[in-house]
Amino acid sequence: MAIPEPIAPQSLADYLAIMSRAVFQAGLSWKMIETRWNDYLRLFEGFDPVLVAAFDGTDVERIMADGAVVRTYRKIVATVENARTLLELDRAPGGFRAYLRSFESYEALAKDLRKRFKFMGELSAYYVLFRVGEPVPPFERWEIAIPGDHPRMREMIALAREKGTSSETA
């Protein structure tokens, strides 16, 4: 498995795609989602938040009926709700990126992400912020502060070290 590279988001769709990937990967094999990612892009209109936010029950059923993706009703609905939240935050002065940078610490931002967005736990918040190039604490410091075991994230960080990249983007 290759480490997911941080990206420089060019649009809100980039943020929603990374966030949705975290949602769909939660509790599953990352490889399982990776092999189906083009189908997720197709079914969720490239994760264009304006289009996804307009999805209704018919769209959710359409996605559930498509055998190309892991069909988890709650995660599909969460993606639609997350698109709506993303658009709401983007309407504030400076947009979504300003929202991400409006917190004094990683901990405060991660806590707010978990509160506002569906299926956004500790690991998902870290993953999203790491992937979109926002400052995150070094993994070793973060991991000891978070209860539980995080083998997938440890694997991702180990791969990053092998490639010579760092989990700290600050």
Tokens of 107: 């901990």
Which domains occur in the chain, in start order?
12-163 (1.10.340.30)
Whole-number Å distance between alpha carbons of 85 and 96: 10
Q: Tens digits of per-residue pLDDT, 88-118?
A: 999 999 999 999 999 999 999 999 999 999 9
d(CA 158, CA 67): 33
Amino acid at 64: M
How far apart are alpha carbons 44 and 20 in whole angstroms? 10
Per-residue model confidence as pLDDT tens for the chain (170 residues): 556 788 999 999 999 999 999 999 988 878 889 999 999 999 999 999 999 999 999 999 999 999 999 989 999 999 999 999 999 999 999 999 999 999 999 999 999 999 999 999 988 999 999 999 999 987 766 666 666 666 666 666 666 567 654 444 33
Question: What pLDDT digit, counting tens, does each position of 55-68 carry?
Answer: 999 999 999 999 99
Q: Which of 81, 75, 36 is closest to 55 using CA atoms?
A: 81
